[in-house]
Structure 1
Amino acid sequence: MTTYSALLRIPGVARLISAQLVARFPGGMLSLAFLIFVENRTGRYADAGLMLAATSIGQAVAGPLTSRWMGKWGMRRVLSLTLAICTLSVLSIALVPMTLPFYMVLGLLCGLSTPPIQPAVRTIYPKLVNSTQLTPLFSLDASAQEIIWVLGPVVTTFVSTQIGPMWGILLAATLMVGGGAWFIASPEVGRVRIPPSRRKLGSVLKKPTVLIATMTGFLLVGACAAVEAGVVATFGDEGLEAGVVLAIFSLGSLVGGLALGHVPISPWSLARRMFLVAFGMAAATAMLGVWWLAVTLFLAGAGIAPALAVLFAIVSSSVKFSDTAEAYGWIGTGQLIGAAIGSAIAGFLIDTNGPAGALWVAAGFAFAGFVLPALTRPWLPDLRGRDASPIPDTEPVQLQGPG
């Protein structure tokens, strides 16, 4: 914990972590809020899964594009425009009665305009700390973001079930605006300029580490999306059990991330951490009781933040600074496509085979996420004792003045 406290004392680190957490907090709310809202309106989990899939596809398409645009037009311009459009889309879903096709269209627009805060903040991090502190900072970030997934499901479930499904979405929209404005106004966002990439869009995927990280993230988040749908279907949307179990799932990730943040990253690290996720999710399929799911999903969660920290570190160490935002955008795209497919498959299997079907989907995704890095470990970097900072560009990175 000494390492983490030292990081938080560095000027700008605590502020930036806090601002981006609030700005991204709706990410832990909207999927569940949309799931409850659309199922309440249409009576079908499959419909809710399709709407979530449309939202995730929109985010997946936008991820690399908006991340790359930050290097061309500046972070603040891109973040402000996307925040405005995304907020209007979310409010329309909550306030305007419509049929499933229109929910899907607005969900797609919401996804397309999701502010690229995650690529922005992880591009800024290397400019705030020295090279030896970067890997622990990625671990702290991956762990801290689990606060979103610990509190988000509980808050969303409580508001959506006890007050009304519409209010869960409106609360998320409020946090989106407040957190997004705070992040955009942060001095670090104005000072760091991302150099425009001179390579074609998608060229960064030729880096084996970026491709492996993108595919593994696809499988990991697909598994998590299936778990979320399965837990909600198991306990229904009339009580707090689903939110509590999902919060414990994320609490496991928070604990795992903090516990493993100091462990050096080797070529085997990603496979080992994904195995823990797969084992816990497979065990969860045995019974659907509250306590059994809480214990097994806590175990599965303990591998999630550590696995994400590995993804961020191996990508950071293998690309140029001008390509980092796009690389993280592609990782986000992989994760969101995984969420779309995981949600859609889980939704259909819930309707046909019950909640257990969604948990089997989750276990299958997670096991594939273990096999992939295990087979591709010769292409993964060994960062034990190595610098995880991005490769410097040939020309110096300019810093802008405050504002």
Structure 2
Amino acid sequence: MRTPGVARIIAAQLLARFPSGMLSLAILLHVERVHDSYGAAGLVLAATSIGQGIAGPLTSRWMGRWGMRPVLLLTITVCAAAVTTIALVEMPVVLYMLVALIAGLSYPPVQPAVRTIYPKMVTSRQLTPLFSLDASAQELIWIGGPVIATFVSTQISTVLGILLAVIFLLAGGVWFVASPEVGRIRIPRTKRSFGTVMKRPPVLLVTAVGFLMIAAAAAVEAGVVATFGHGGPEAGFVLAIWALGSLASGLALGHLPVSQWSLPRRTGMLFVGLALATFSQDFWWMTISLLVSSIGFAPALAVMFATVSASVRFSDTAEAYGWVGTGQLIGAAVGSALAGFLIDSAGPVGAFWTGGAFAAACVLVATLFRRASPDLRGREAGPIADTEPVALPPT
């Protein structure tokens, strides 16, 4: 944090990404109020997620072609306009879905941008701890975002709940874009075709592990809400403690060197905690179980970010992070959907079975394919430099 610009970049990107923790709940509550249907609200949210999933690697790749600032300013403007339209204009469900799709397609690629910038801001020794700090700090989005969105939407107005997210998006986005580091760092234009970066085993591994890990988390979140219902604050307390535990573990373990066994060990802690949660839905048992699982959550994300950074050329870094983000978005959707089906058929414990199964698969994949992950002990975690032949004049 003493490195010039690091604190500013972390704060700006957190503010710009804060709507990620707000918009789902705010839009859900708003569309449900307008159409008196959670099914309709779910369709609108699905359209948003589909848009984000498609746009993730695409807009990230654009930053290498047109520069970070133009792409970020364009996406921030379009996304803010689309989300504001959802808040202020009452429409049929189909039109809500269309506007939500536009909002998802234009969601600013701040996360790929900042993780592309980090290797150019700090030394190689500091990079893995910085990724860990970033993974920990993003838990603040999932602690504060849902609380603010729910309170404002239920106690004041659903319109204001969405507009508040737009304010965060614009303020944080402009602050991030105006940061000197964003203008100073230029991503080289990649010469490889779209999607080629996914042929690299480390990127494929991280995308698969991210999909399974976030699917497990989404299933457990659904299970916590289903266990305690909407009548009390217990679900909010459990999820907040889970996020705080992840934040603390990321800060505590961020200095550890990354080896090929780091990802299996850290996802293993996630699995142990989620497996324990299947034995009882008592408040304290669930809280302690999820605290155990949180020991591996942010540290595993930090390993994944460092793995991508050390495994691809600098020109491909943003696109690679875009694909990883798309995998996580798909994981969240699949995990929530499967958990919902099992909650209907087996009760809340079905969601914890789902989360435990995804976590077990996550550990299995991370272990079987650990050799695809680079051993970063004693070596730089920064991206591979882009090089090309240089024509020399005849002598």
TM-score normalised by structure 2 residue count: 0.91
- The answer as to whether partners of 1:123 and 1:325 remain within 8 angstroms in 2 is yes
Unaligned runs of 5+ in 1: 1-7, 397-403
Among 302, 318, 335, which residue is 2:295 paired with?
Answer: 302
Among 357, 360, 372, which residue is 1:379 paired with?
Answer: 372
| 1:220 paired to 2:213 | yes
Q: Residue 79 of structure 1: CA displacement?
A: 0.6
Distance 1:327 1:26 in 2: 23
Map residues 252-331 of structure 1 onto 2, 5 A cutoff. Answer: 252-331=245-324
| 1:110 paired to 2:103 | yes
Q: Residue 332 of structure 1: CA displacement?
A: 0.8
- The answer as to whether partners of 2:34 and 2:90 remain within 8 angstroms in 1 is no
Q: Residue 105 of structure 1: CA displacement?
A: 2.9
Among 333, 338, 353, which residue is 1:360 paired with?
Answer: 353
User: Which secondary structure state, in structure 2, belongs to the residue aligned with residue 302 of structure 1?
Assistant: helix
User: Which secondary structure state, in structure 1, belongs to the residue aligned with residue 311 of structure 2?
Assistant: coil
More deviation, 11-20/43-52: 43-52
More deviation, 45-54/260-269: 45-54
More deviation, 357-366/124-133: 357-366
| 1:53 paired to 2:55 | no
Distance 1:160 1:236 in 2: 18
Which residue of structure 2 aligns with residue 14 of structure 1? Answer: 7
Distance 1:48 1:223 in 2: 23
Among 80, 92, 117, which residue is 1:87 paired with?
Answer: 80
Which residue of structure 1 aligns with residue 392 of structure 2? Answer: none
Unaligned runs of 5+ in 2: 390-395
Which residue of structure 2 aligns with residue 142 of structure 1? Answer: 135
User: Which secondary structure state, in structure 2, belongs to the residue aligned with residue 317 of structure 1?
Assistant: helix
Residues 1:122 and 1:169: Cα distance change in structure 2 (over 3 Å): same
Residues 1:53 and 1:367: Cα distance change in structure 2 (over 3 Å): farther
| 1:209 paired to 2:202 | yes
Letter in 2 for 1:80: L
Distance 1:157 1:245 in 2: 16
Among 55, 61, 67, which residue is 1:62 paired with?
Answer: 55
More deviation, 166-175/270-279: 166-175
Distance 1:269 1:23 in 2: 30
Letter in 2 for 1:337: I
After superposition, the C-alpha distances for 1:331-389 in whole angstroms (9 at most, x for unaligned) are 11111111222233333444454433333322222221111111101222111111111
- The answer as to whether partners of 1:26 and 1:173 remain within 8 angstroms in 2 is yes
Which residue of structure 2 aligns with residue 123 of structure 1? Answer: 116
Q: Residue 206 of structure 1: CA displacement?
A: 1.0
Q: Residue 66 of structure 1: CA displacement?
A: 0.3
State which structure, 1 or 2, has the greater radius of gyration over its C-alpha atoms.
Answer: 2
Distance 1:274 1:82 in 2: 34
Map residues 212-251 of structure 1 onto 2, 5 A cutoff. Answer: 212-237=205-230, 239-251=232-244
Residues 1:229 and 1:70: Cα distance change in structure 2 (over 3 Å): same
Letter in 1 for 2:122: V
Residues 1:33 and 1:244: Cα distance change in structure 2 (over 3 Å): farther
Which residue of structure 2 aligns with residue 195 of structure 1? Answer: 188
Letter in 2 for 1:32: L
Distance 2:39 2:286 in 1: 23
- The answer as to whether partners of 1:210 and 1:327 remain within 8 angstroms in 2 is yes
Residues 1:231 and 1:251: Cα distance change in structure 2 (over 3 Å): same
Letter in 1 for 2:338: I
Residues 1:372 and 1:59: Cα distance change in structure 2 (over 3 Å): same
| 1:169 paired to 2:167 | no
Q: Identical aligned pairs, as a percentage?
A: 63
Residues 1:392 and 1:206: Cα distance change in structure 2 (over 3 Å): same
User: Which secondary structure state, in structure 1, belongs to the residue aligned with residue 385 of structure 2?
Assistant: coil
Residues 1:159 and 1:118: Cα distance change in structure 2 (over 3 Å): same
Q: Residue 318 of structure 1: CA displacement?
A: 0.9
After superposition, the C-alpha distances for 1:107-139 in whole angstroms (9 at most, x for unaligned) are 322211110001101111111111111111111
| 1:179 paired to 2:177 | no
Distance 2:20 2:329 in 1: 11
More deviation, 19-28/80-89: 80-89
Distance 1:12 1:276 in 2: 33
- How many equivalent residue pairs? 389
Among 120, 123, 146, which residue is 1:153 paired with?
Answer: 146
After superposition, the C-alpha distances for 1:299-341 in whole angstroms (9 at most, x for unaligned) are 2222111011000111111111111111111111111111222
Distance 1:35 1:297 in 2: 26
CA RMSD, Structure 1 to Structure 2 (Å): 2.2
Distance 1:159 1:122 in 2: 31
Distance 1:271 1:44 in 2: 42
Distance 2:62 2:42 in 1: 30
Distance 1:232 1:36 in 2: 16
User: Which secondary structure state, in structure 2, belongs to the residue aligned with residue 303 of structure 1?
Assistant: helix
